[in-house]
Amino acid sequence: MGSFGGYRSMWIVLMFDLPVKTKPQRKAYADFRKGLKEDGFMQMQYSVYARHCASEDNAHMHINRAKVDIPDKGEVRIMLMTDKQYERMLVFYGNFRKKAEKAASQLEFF
């Protein structure tokens, strides 16, 4: 991936720990996850989602969309990283190392 027209592609990694003790909390949790998926985030782990973005401006647009849906209770952390930083992530399944997911090869327009 890399730069496109002077813009560096980025990854958003979003992690959350939301309460699910009551029915309204479970609904807020489900709605938050659904919004992430509808906005193109992929599930990396149970409450860790990631999304590739064509530029830092595009990443901030998706971060702002996610921020609108953050439930009143719980904790959400959002990290922004370059393709190089993301590719340096160490991923293991048991004792076996696996490469980090690659960015999608298609561009988004909107």
Backbone φ and ψ of 33, nearest 5°: -60, -45
Question: Does the residue 48 lie in any domain?
Answer: yes
Residue 68: domain span: 3-98
Closest by CA to 13, choosing from 40, 37, 48, 45, is 48
Number of domains in the chain: 1
Residue 77 has pLDDT above 90, yes or no: yes
Question: Does the residue 108 lie in any domain?
Answer: no
Q: What is the pTM of this model?
A: 0.82
Question: Does the residue 107 lie in any domain?
Answer: no
What are the Cα distances from residue 77, in Å, to 4, 49, 98, 105?
27, 11, 24, 27
CATH number of the CATH domain containing 76: 3.30.70.240
- pLDDT 10s digits, 27-38: 999 999 999 999
Question: Does the residue 72 lie in any domain?
Answer: yes
What does 5-42 look like in DSSP terms, one character per residue? Answer: TTEE-EEEEEEEE---SSHHHHHHHHHHHHHHHHTT-E
